[in-house]
């Protein structure tokens, strides 16, 4: 489930997950996370993905962590210099 060329590790965005709408009709979650280019040179970003990290419990006698690609987007090539930040935002709407 890796993207074509992952730059660095998978960032944790748990602290950036907010509920923007929560009522009897809809629940809307939004994630915005700044991702730093940790490479020593500029990179051109052409794809961004959001991974879901979970831990399955009750499997045998231990917990089993895993990550899976939840959302993927190809974007117009965007240059990000070494040490620069790109900040994608995902909004997920769940009608009730």
Entry pTM: 0.66
Cβ-proximal residues to 14 (8 Å cutoff; 6+ apart), any chain? none
Mean pLDDT of 39-43: 89
| DSSP state letter for 37 | -
Q: What is the pLDDT of residues 80-96, one digit of tens each?
A: 999 999 888 888 898 88
């Amino acid at each position: 489930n890796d993207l074509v060329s992952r730059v660095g590790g998978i960032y944790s965005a748990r602290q950036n997950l907010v509920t923007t709408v929560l009522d009897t009709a809809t629940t809307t979650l939004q994630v915005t996370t700044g991702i730093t280019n940790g490479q020593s040179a500029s990179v051109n970003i052409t794809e961004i993905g959001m991974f879901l990290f979970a831990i399955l419990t009750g499997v045998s006698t231990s917990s089993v962590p895993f990550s899976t690609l939840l959302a993927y987007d190809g974007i117009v090539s965007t240059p990000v210099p070494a040490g620069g930040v790109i900040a994608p935002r995902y909004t997920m709407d769940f009608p009730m």
